[in-house]
Amino acid sequence: MDIIVKRDYDEMSRCAAEHIAALIRKKPDCVIGFATGATPIGTYRELVRIYNEEGLDFSNVKTFNLDEYLGISMDLSKPYILDQSYRRFMHEELFKHININEENINIPDGLARDPEEECLKYEEKIKEAGGIDLQILGIGGNGHWAFNEPGSSFDSRTRVIKLNEQTLNDNYEAFYKKAGIPREKMPHYAITMGIGTILEAKSVLMLANGAKKAEIVAKALEGPVTTMVTASSIQIFKGKATVILDGEAASMLVKQTIK
């Protein structure tokens, strides 16, 4: 595992974007797993800059998002702040700004009539694409990857999951409260890739910033490997793992593994 610490969020985002861009240049038809949330926004905006200024070509890239809320989907008739679907997030923050082929974009369908069947189909789509070359990851306040809440098995696959109280509180403060949406109206369930699905990627890129993430980052990277901190599974990941942090998020790390 490579741990790269940058001075601040902007430097972290530029480093992450260059990491992703390098893969696309090397393998133009690569398969990338994308994440949502506040952390990767800077990375996606930097990828847009590279596309505009350096001609990075996304036309053959295939994508799979980690998760989607159950019961909602993109609604372009609503203002962005009122449409909290992850499909809309990716559309606004990245996809509408680059030359990606719409047919190559894969995000779980939050309005699927049969969510369990949707999960099985999503797994099959990943296999048909040849697997994920690079999976981008954040880390939740309780140490989750995607929506794999504490206690999720490391063998878990794409599935429907109930969000726990900390995740609901974090997401409400970050997104729904700003939109003026009552907490009781935010989704309490989601479709998420499982930890087992994520660990099958050829490489992973985990991002974290801010002092609020310092303790959980240290637990994930240097604490015991436990399903109660699902991001700790990075320690048993068999592919290439890269972690990019800002100084605050790295402040509680003790091992000399930092580049």
Active site residues: 67, 142, 144, 149
What is the CA 19 to chain-centroid distance, rounded? 15
List, in sequence order, every residue forming a beta bridge with 208; answer none if it has no partner: 245
At 69, list the tokens.
Answer: 């809320």
Contacts of 243 (CB under 8 A, 6+ apart): 1, 2, 3, 4, 205, 206, 207, 208, 221, 234
Residue 102 in tokens = 């719409």
How far apart CA 207 and CA 88 sit, in angstroms, is 21
- Mapping DSSP to helix (H, G, I), strand (E, B) and coil, where does residue 82 land? helix
Q: Determine the Cα–Cα distance for residues 135 and 72; give it in Å rounded to an integer.
A: 24
